[in-house]
Amino acid sequence: VIKCKAAVAWEAGKPLSLEEVEVGPPKAHEVRIKIVATAVCHTDAYTLSGADPEGCFPVILGHEGAGIVESVGEGVTKVKPGDTVIPLYIPQCGECKFCKNPKTNLCQKIRITQGKGLMPDGTSRFTCKGKQIYHFMGTSTFSEYTVVADISVAKIDAAAPLDKVCLLGCGISTGYGAAVNTAKVEPGSTCAVFGLGGVGLAVIMGCKIAGASRIIGIDLNKDKYAKAKEFGATECISPQDFKKPIQEVLVEMTDGGVDYSFECIGNVGVMRAALEACHKGWGVSVIVGVAAAGQEIATRPFQLVTGRTWKGTAFGGWKSVDNVPKLVTDYMSKKIKVDEFVTHTLPFDKINEAFELMHTGK
């Protein structure tokens, strides 16, 4: 058993608490990882807020991390102690019908136990003050050591800077893949990206790499426009600057609508606007943002009858074990940006400040 620091969420709606926790050794087909760097994501905040129907407390959150394998359980062959790895919240077992189907990346092998905050055998590897602590998204990167299933880990280039590539564990991969895998953006196309946070910027990067000729960024926070343009946005607009709905503005700006739109916020009203901003006959809108529990999307069926397509994406459609190492290689060879997504680097004990910075859009 390893004793280390972890940021524990004891209950919903309260700040994280830095505690000493005990991390049990990995059982069969499990891997214990020394986490070197982790990022914060709105998904962590969503669960912490109490709005997540799968949220269990007390829990160690975090799902964008990178580290070094400390030890492995019986039967683990893909990684060994000392390997540099990224934990994966969408695993890839290679055996379930989802993994065998090229149309999806949603491995279901450990979905049920992962959703309950437990390891595949139905138990937890974390304790604190004599209490069992739940896992989160199969990763729990807000701990100096964590234990994950062996199908939930990608071995990456040992030379990769972990304080940067941890972002490939969720946000950058999700946005970039939404453009290149899910939408399959084509050269010369016109795109609209709603929400210019980390995921939205990654979508813009993907649209640019795919050869889009016009990329319109949409956000209420104009402080985000300069960064969006650095990533490839050709123009940025705020819905507050117009008297009419934003979808009508975009349809007028683009002679009938955009070829591809992306919702990167998790707001069902914006999801509708993103679909309705698409061009009749061929427009495709991709939902990337995660809406709160119980919310529903709406539009007039005629929007779809007349040739628009509504899609969704999880982790950008990447089959995780196969593709995360390739994304790291693409970053190392400067094909994709990662460093530019990092705004602040803080010590672990300032994790609550990191959440505050995220909530204020900084």
- Give the whole-angstrom CA distance, residue 8 versus residue 301: 45
Residues 264 and 197 sit within 8 Å (Cβ to Cβ): yes
3-state helix, strand, coil in the chain (%, to 5): 30, 25, 45
pLDDT for 106 beyond 90: yes
- Give the whole-angstrom CA distance, residue 349 versus residue 227: 28
**132 strand-pairing partners:** 127
Residue 120 backbone phi and psi in degrees, to 5: -55, -25
User: Listing from the earlier edge strand, what are the strands of the sheet with 145-149?
Assistant: 145-149, 30-39, 64-72, 84-87, 153-155
Average pLDDT, the chain: 97
Domain ranges of the chain: 2-169+319-360, 174-313
Residues 177-220: tens digit of each pLDDT: 999 999 999 999 999 999 999 999 999 999 999 999 999 999 99
For the chain, what percent of residues have pLDDT higher than 90?
96
Span 37-55, average pLDDT: 91
Span 221-228, average pLDDT: 96
Tokens, residue 244: 């009419």
- Concatenate the DSSP letters of all residues of 103-128 into one string: T-----TTHHHHHTT--TTS--SEEE
Residues 293 and 52 sit within 8 Å (Cβ to Cβ): yes
pLDDT score for 238: 98
pLDDT score for 51: 85
Span 64-85, average pLDDT: 98
Residues 30 and 124 sit within 8 Å (Cβ to Cβ): no
What homologous superfamily is domain 2-169+319-360 in, according to CATH? Medium-chain alcohol dehydrogenases, catalytic domain (3.90.180.10)
What's the Rg (C-alpha) of the chain? 20
Position 308, amino acid: R
- CATH class of segment(s) 174-313: alpha beta
Rounded to two decimals, the pTM is 0.96
- Give the whole-angstrom CA distance, residue 296 versus residue 306: 22
pLDDT for 52 beyond 90: no
The size of the chain, in residues, is 362
**287 strand-pairing partners:** 263, 312
Residues 19-43: tens digit of each pLDDT: 999 999 999 999 999 999 999 998 9
Strand 190-194 versus strand 214-218 pairing type: parallel
Closest CA to 321 of 77, 43, 47: 77
pLDDT score for 54: 81
Span 259-286, average pLDDT: 98
Span 40-67, average pLDDT: 93
Q: How far is CA 51 from CA 42, 46, 48, 315, 361, in A?
A: 12, 6, 8, 21, 20
Tokens, residue 190: 């016109």
Diameter over CA atoms, the chain: 63
- Tell the burial category of 300 from Cβ atoms under 10 Å away from its Cβ (0-12, 13-18, 19+): exposed
